[in-house]
Structure 1
Amino acid sequence: MNLEILTPERKLYNGEVYGVQLPGVDGLFEVLEKHAPMVSALKAGKLKVLKDKSMSDTTSYAIQGGFVEVFHNKVTVLVEGAVPAEAGR
């Protein structure tokens, strides 16, 4: 599935991924390939990009609040701000 992470300033990430873990306002949730369409609010926290099924290749971002839209195997994350999280966190 395709993941796109956007801030007001720039496109932070765009690429094919296995899944993504997101800090929803009601708790952490994960979106995988062929997920049902949805829109959800996000709170500040850690967004984790799962690049492969083994989950050994990941990238994390510390995000501010925002929204996520899942539609036709594309995940679009719109956040106020995001920075790469330090490894091991």
Structure 2
Amino acid sequence: MQLEILTPEHKVFSGNVYGIQLPGTNGSFEVLDNHAAMIAALGKGKMKVLVDKHNTDVYEISAGFVEVLNNKTSVLIEDATALA
């Protein structure tokens, strides 16, 4: 799945991933390869980029939106801070 994570200031991540876990406004959810098309609002919380089945990148994010379409996921957020 192609993933792009953007803030107004810069591109946080761009590349192929296994999946992503996101903090939705009504609870967290996960998007994997070949997910159905959707648009969802995001709340404040932890976003986990599943780079592959063994490696993850974790970010603390503020509000935003996610769009999934044709096996491409675009995450538009106000801010992202990488966590160790």
| 1:62 equivalent in structure 2 | 60
Specify every segment of 5 or more residues in structure 1 that has no aligned partner in the other structure, as ranges: none
| 1:79 equivalent in structure 2 | 77
User: Structure 1: which 4+ aligned runs deviate by more than 3 Å?
Assistant: none
* 1:49 partner letter: V
Q: Which whole-Å deviations, capped at 9, do the CAs of 1:21-50 have from their partners, x for residues lacking one?
A: 000001010000000000000001000000
Q: Which whole-Å deviations, capped at 9, do the CAs of 1:34-80 have from their partners, x for residues lacking one?
A: 0000000000100000011x3x2000110000000000000000000
Query: Distance in 2 between the 1:71 and 1:64 partners?
Result: 22
Identity of aligned residues (%): 56
Specify every segment of 5 or more residues in structure 2 that has no aligned partner in the other structure, as ranges: none
| 2:11 equivalent in structure 1 | 11
* 1:66 partner letter: G
Compute the TM-score of the two structures, normalised by the length of structure 1. 0.92
Aligned residues: 84
| 2:41 equivalent in structure 1 | 41
Compute the TM-score of the two structures, normalised by the length of structure 2. 0.97
Query: Distance in 2 between the 1:15 and 1:48 partners?
Result: 14
